[in-house]
Amino acid sequence: MFLRFYEKIRALHRGVDKTVANPLLAYALIKRLQSDWLNVVYSMEASENSQALKNDYRRLEGVLPAFEDLEGAARAVMRLQDVYSLSVKDLAKGRFRRNSNVPLADVYSPGQDFPLSADDCFQIGKVAYDMEDYYHCILWMEEAASLFRVSYGNWNIEDEGSLEDAGNISHALSLSQEFLHYDPSNKRMARNVLKYEKLLVAKPNDESEEVALQRPNVTHIETRDTYEWLCQTLGSQPSHYESPMLSCSFETNGDPLLFLQPLKREVVHLKPYLALYHDFVSDNEAETIKALAAPWLQRSVVASGEKQQEADYRISKSAWLKDTLDPMILALDRRIAALTALNTQPPYAEYLQVVNYGLGGHYEPHFDHATSRKSPLYRLKSGNRIATLMIYLSSVEAGGSTAFIYANLSIPAVKVR
């Protein structure tokens, strides 16, 4: 046990930067630190030094990932699976390959494949099961079962319950019988075999019925398919760039601040108006902003009536930076004012918001402006939002696009624009 665990940990620590960039490696690392270490500390093999191990573990427990972190990482993997239409079987092999009848380039190509274990897949399925999301649960549990048949590791029994809840009694019976084959003394499994046999006798037609797995639309977003298609295209919609009305130019807006260093503007859409300003901040400014925001990052919230609350359709951390925090923030505010010809000082504008999307973060289709007079935005006494300026502070190897649903366009994340 210790040798296998050591080899897993050793593999995870080969190139920390790559570990953070690869969502499967990040998930596996969180799982190792959250659950596997705990199993080692309290295992029979550790009994000789158990008290010392437990004391060290308790000392570090506060900085180790909590179960909520593991749950969030598993949900992030499922989210990536959905948004980019990734194959569960390929994900388990460490590959980011899309489900398609035609050859497509992988969404992301890490330098080295990092396959998931049966237990890794089981944990993702277990998180889905606890959410009563049987669509994802069955896909990941079946992959865990497939890997188990190869490795003959520890067998888990939640999959058959998921199949029953999803209405596939015949499949649940088949899986239960297989479980019982590997573990003949399992009384629960024996009872389940009898239960499913009786159900099929009572409803014989169910045996031949195929229950189609349907992915749940938890947030009931009507534009979900469009949103995900725009994310999958990775910002590549050439027809949008064929219009003769689109252009690139150097702009000063008549502001003296920009005379010696005009802005590099690229108009990418007219209605609604979308423009990119290249090299708007320097690399040094981008790193300074991230460093200033890091200590203040907290789970992002959304408006809900007169209050603000966390929501599954917005997964990120954010921080607000005042221009009094650092001279560079004040200089950036002045540059934004020159670009927009708007007053960027409160209450006419909000403070600079820095957002970190982390592992599988996202923000489903939404309006930046308030759609209700009860919104906290109106407490600013400055009216509703009229424009949004976003600055990408980092480039990413995959994903990260901003999808504009009604413009039918997505913009890929490129640093400092």
More confident residue, 7 or 166: 7
The H-or-E segment that residue 363 falls in is strand 362-363
User: What tokens appear for 73 in the block?
Assistant: 């990482």
User: What tokens appear for 43 in the block?
Assistant: 């295992």
Per-residue pLDDT at 200:
66
Q: Which of 114, 134, 416 is nearest to 276 (CA)?
A: 416
Sign of CA dihedral 212, 89, 20, 332: negative
The mean per-residue pLDDT over the stretch 65-73 comes to: 89
Backbone angles phi, psi at 97, to 5 degrees: -105, 135
Instruction: State the CB neighbour count (10 A cutoff) for residue 347.
Output: 11
Mean residue pLDDT across the chain:
80
Query: What tens digit of pLDDT does each residue of 274-328 get?
Result: 899 999 999 999 999 999 999 999 999 988 777 889 988 899 999 999 999 999 9
Bridge-based pairing of strands 402-404 and 409-411 is: antiparallel
Q: Which of 345, 344, 322, 357 is nearest to 389 (CA)?
A: 344
**Distance, CA of 200 to CA of 189 (rounded, Å):** 16
Q: Which amino acid is at 210?
A: E
**Distance, CA of 353 to CA of 201 (rounded, Å):** 61
Per-residue pLDDT at 146:
84
User: What tokens appear for 19 in the block?
Assistant: 């570990």
Query: What tens digit of pLDDT does each residue of 372-406 get?
Result: 777 766 666 667 888 899 999 998 888 888 999 88
Query: What tens digit of pLDDT does each residue of 324-348 get?
Result: 999 999 999 999 999 999 999 888 8
Query: What tens digit of pLDDT does each residue of 214-250 get?
Result: 777 766 678 888 888 888 875 556 666 778 889 999 9
